[in-house]
Structure 1
Amino acid sequence: MSSPNGGRPPLALLCSAQFMLTLDFAIVNVALPAMHRDLGFTSGSLPWVIGAYALFFGGFLLLGGRAGDLFGRKRMFVAGLIVFTLASLVGGLATVPIVLILARALQGLSAAAVSPAVLALIAAGYPQPAERAKAMGVFGAVASAGFAGGVLAGGILTETLGWRSVMYVNVPVGILLVVSALRKLAPDHQGHQVRRVDVPGALLVTSAFCLFSYALTIAADKGWGAGSVIWPMVAGAVLLIAFLILETRVKEPLVALSIFKIRSVTGGNAVAFLSGGVMSISTFCLTLYMQQILHYSSIKTGLAFFPQAFVVVLASLPVAKATMKYGPRPVLVGGALFLLAGSLWLTQASGPDSYLSHVLPGGVLLGLGVTVMMITTAFAATTGVPPQQMGLASGLYNSLRQLGVGLCLSVAVAIAGLGALGSGVDNFKTAFSLSAGLSIVIAIVSAVLVPGRKPAPVAAPASSAPAAAPSREPVAVTD
């Protein structure tokens, strides 16, 4: 995929789309109390403003990524942006809770098309490892800036213009992105078309991931022993097993399982799953800690996250260069050590005066580790993958990372006894200790599963030639 002038797809456009998605997730979290007051949410229905988005985003990521391979990444990118923009408008106009929840579900569904397309377009458009690493560095920096900006912007917009403004802000941005994409992205190759679509496989895997996402969404509230959590997890596992069996028997599978023979894909996804858990635990706990223990306002909490976000932006390109120079394995091990150090530092935080002594340095160390994980896992999980399977690889990466976020955070919340209100210092110490333990596992998995040397670049197809049909054969990656 290239731009109309024969060059690479415009990185600024792709990263801007990812920035909007990340900004939206963070900005809505801050506006939840105002939504509760204005629309009359019950205590049980309010979490679905977040849960509906997570359910459809996590459930449809793999299908969205593969759809980009089959029907064209530009098509999925543009269509997803259009739906996301319309859903944001509907959400802003909502007068009853159900309309806002449905709008958030539609946002999640459309984001599941846009996010894998962004990563696939970057990976396919920058086939040389050094160029791709730099592009991933920019991608990681922008995604982090979107989160930090969302926390702060959400507080400012909610307090000055009302909660509806956090939904409306996506509308002009989405329109600009759609217009830019139609002008600057090259048409999809006809070679993306396939004779048959694995509809049974798509239904099985999407249903499985939706059930997993649903269980994880309600686990913190219902408890892991509740039947409403256990049965969706069991049903999801059964459907996933059925999907894996089916994929070995159909001629044109939704997921060519041979992709897992590519060691960088397997290792990168395993680390992405685990590191997504550490990132979600640390971000969630730091947000609550600053509001409940330090008694910060939403705006002050956003400002307090800025040093961490600044470190991510500052370190992104050096991390990309280190990944190219030393290979993903040592860089990921180093990143896990940063996560470990930051988590352990935060276990020593003890009260209202702990920001400068513990929260700030611990957050900065976590920021360095997060930088490594965002950039190097994305690089590893898309390295050695044939161009016609980049959407699949991107969908797998995003799906497993999202499941890691939900599963690890739900488990940590349950074990540490963290609630929306009334959590004490000891509860946070327990959660940060779990984060530290998970960081050790990440270091071990990185050392064992992730390749140590740089793989050869995968040649991108010429702009005038159609893409080849999806292949079951993996690309070898040296250790």
Structure 2
Amino acid sequence: MAAPDRWRALALLACTQFVLILDTSIINVAAPSIGSDLDISPAELSWVANAYLVSFGGLLLLSGRAADLIGRRRLFVAGLGTLAAASLLGALAGSAQLLITARVVQGMGAAMAAAAALALLLSLFDDGPERHKALGIFAAMAGAGGAAGTVLGGVLTSWLGWESTFALNVVVGLGLILPARRLLPAGSRTGDEGGFDLPGAVSVTGGLALLAYALVNAGESGWRDPVTLVTGALAVVLLTVFVLVERRVRHPLVPPAIFRRRTLRLANVLAGMWQMSLFPMFFLVSLYLQAVLGYEPVMGGLGLLPLSVVVVLVASTTDRLIGRFGLRTVMCAGFVLVAIGLVWQSLLSPSGSFVADVLPPSLLLGIALPLVSVTTAVAATLGTERDETGLASGLVNTSQQFGSVIGLALLSGVAAARTSAVSGPRDVALTEGFSAAFLAGAALAGVAALLALRLVVPAAPAPEKGPGGTGADDRSTDRDPALP
């Protein structure tokens, strides 16, 4: 594909990423209106938001492998079509059951589209500066989508009603499908045609979905809740079955050999850890602005826009930073900045202000976010063969998705526990809770920075390694060329 066409294709994929991340946050602002209009109980209302996360997280790995087996563009279009159809169902829903069903199907479509989008990006751009730049743009749009969801949720709900947050996906989904055939490569099937690992697919999808359910329920009802414990135990059983199946079947969904790649293993752990430490920050800062400082929901969302602008600006230069200082150095620096920014963010005051308490640390976190998101994505996809791009995409997407779910459950729990332990005015107790959560996030980022020091970066491949510039030698040298 010619260079201009590749960058137009990237624009389409990045816009898709923007929409998929936007959907994780836009519904949170619309939820109170949904509950009021449809007379939905608080327990059911929480699952209007969380059902999307459960199906999204549960199907990412299977979707990534399916992208290799049935074709990336085909899965991309199918995912967007599923998302648009489910969104139309959500806009017309008149009951909690129908709305939750729509959110489950939305998550299924999002998983297909997300896995295919990253796999397409990896197939369009070979290892090197261009892929780093492409991943930077991809990360920038993801960061912008997270903040925009909060703003758009408030604006659309206030002006057009909560149904418009679903109708938006119908319009945008169709708008993204139309140019897909023209801009994206056909992408013939690249996976092994010898068979499909049905037992592996069923066990891993069920296991990941139950794990996501358990984690989300832990955030709602606590880690000792019977539902959390039972679904968590079932998830462990199914994931154990999956591991055993993959060792025995002839055509495994996830070849066990892929986990023998040291860089891939650590990169996926780090991809999850940056989400664990940073993703809850968006939610908790918005709560602080509204519950403590008294901002309206729309203004609470607008408070995150400066961070999003910084994310976009820094992400566009991350490829040059990697080229100059090396992948491991930039990654470590990013995690250190995350830790510093969250410690700074923890210095909240119940009588503070946006300009004094939120803006400065959020700008620092806006610098850190693309550094960790781009470098972990680069590391997780280094040396990926062309028939593995979907699998690599599914793995890193799954790591990030579960990192965000685990992080939100953990840090929200820390905030709630600290708030309950503080006697005094509610705004003081809430502020103490938010501060404790930010410190916990900083500790996670500090651990990630230490782990990043152990990252082993393969040397650049030698010339003439075949299509895509990758080959067996890509993984043979445990040294970052940019490091002494």
Distance in 1, Cα, partners of 2:35 & 2:17: 27
Residue type of the alignment partner of 1:146: G
TM superposition shift of 1:30: 1.1
Residue type of the alignment partner of 1:158: T
TM superposition shift of 1:225: 1.1
Distance in 1, Cα, partners of 2:473 & 2:247: 13
Check the 8 A contact 2:456/2:478 in 1, yes or no.
yes
Distance 1:4 1:451, change over 3 A: closer
CA RMSD of aligned residues (A): 2.5
TM-score normalised by structure 1 residue count: 0.93
Distance in 2, Cα, partners of 1:189 & 1:169: 31
Distance in 2, Cα, partners of 1:93 & 1:247: 42
Distance in 2, Cα, partners of 1:288 & 1:17: 27
Report which stretch shifted further, 301-310 or 365-374: 365-374
Uncovered stretches (5+) of structure 2, i.e. residues with no partner: 421-425, 480-484
TM superposition shift of 1:154: 1.2
Residue type of the alignment partner of 2:212: S
Check the 8 A contact 1:343/1:436 in 2, yes or no.
yes
Question: The residue matched to 2:44 in structure 1 has which SS?
Answer: coil
Distance in 1, Cα, partners of 2:462 & 2:23: 34
Tell me if 1:444 matches 2:443. no
Deviation readout 1:167-219 (Å, 9 max, x if unpaired): 10111211121111122223231444612100000111111101101101111
Tell me if 1:84 matches 2:90. no
TM superposition shift of 1:247: 0.9
Distance in 2, Cα, partners of 1:353 & 1:304: 14
Q: Which has the higher contact order (CA 8 A, sep 6+)?
A: 1
TM superposition shift of 1:377: 1.1
Residue matched to 2:405: 406
Distance in 2, Cα, partners of 1:308 & 1:19: 15
Distance in 1, Cα, partners of 2:227 & 2:305: 38
TM superposition shift of 1:346: 1.5
Tell me if 1:145 matches 2:144. yes
TM superposition shift of 1:455: 3.7
Residue matched to 2:423: none
Distance in 2, Cα, partners of 1:473 & 1:227: 49
Residue matched to 1:114: 113
Distance in 1, Cα, partners of 2:309 & 2:204: 38
TM-score normalised by structure 2 residue count: 0.92
TM superposition shift of 1:314: 0.8
Residue type of the alignment partner of 1:436: A
Tell me if 1:346 matches 2:345. yes
Deviation readout 1:56-77 (Å, 9 max, x if unpaired): 0000100011100111101110
Distance in 2, Cα, partners of 1:284 & 1:230: 25
Residue type of the alignment partner of 1:431: A
Uncovered stretches (5+) of structure 1, i.e. residues with no partner: none
Residue matched to 1:17: 16
Tell me if 1:427 matches 2:433. yes
Distance 1:335 1:95, change over 3 A: same
Distance 1:8 1:287, change over 3 A: closer
Residue matched to 1:208: 207
Residue matched to 1:478: 478
Deviation readout 1:19-48 (Å, 9 max, x if unpaired): 111222222111111111111110110010
Distance 1:457 1:43, change over 3 A: farther
TM superposition shift of 1:331: 0.9
Distance in 2, Cα, partners of 1:407 & 1:184: 36
Residue matched to 1:277: 276
Residue matched to 2:461: 456
Residue matched to 1:167: 166
Question: The residue matched to 1:10 in structure 2 has which SS?
Answer: helix
Deviation readout 1:331-382 (Å, 9 max, x if unpaired): 1110111111111112211123232222111111222221112211111111
Question: The residue matched to 1:254 in structure 2 has which SS?
Answer: coil
Distance in 1, Cα, partners of 2:8 & 2:431: 47
Distance in 2, Cα, partners of 1:223 & 1:432: 19
Question: The residue matched to 1:424 in structure 2 has which SS?
Answer: helix
Residue type of the alignment partner of 1:237: V
Identity of aligned residues (%): 35
Deviation readout 1:308-339 (Å, 9 max, x if unpaired): 11110110122222123333211111011111
Question: The residue matched to 1:172 in structure 2 has which SS?
Answer: helix
Question: The residue matched to 1:169 in structure 2 has which SS?
Answer: helix
Check the 8 A contact 2:190/2:387 in 1, yes or no.
no
Check the 8 A contact 1:327/1:451 in 2, yes or no.
no
TM superposition shift of 1:458: 10
Distance 1:361 1:110, change over 3 A: same
TM superposition shift of 1:457: 8.2
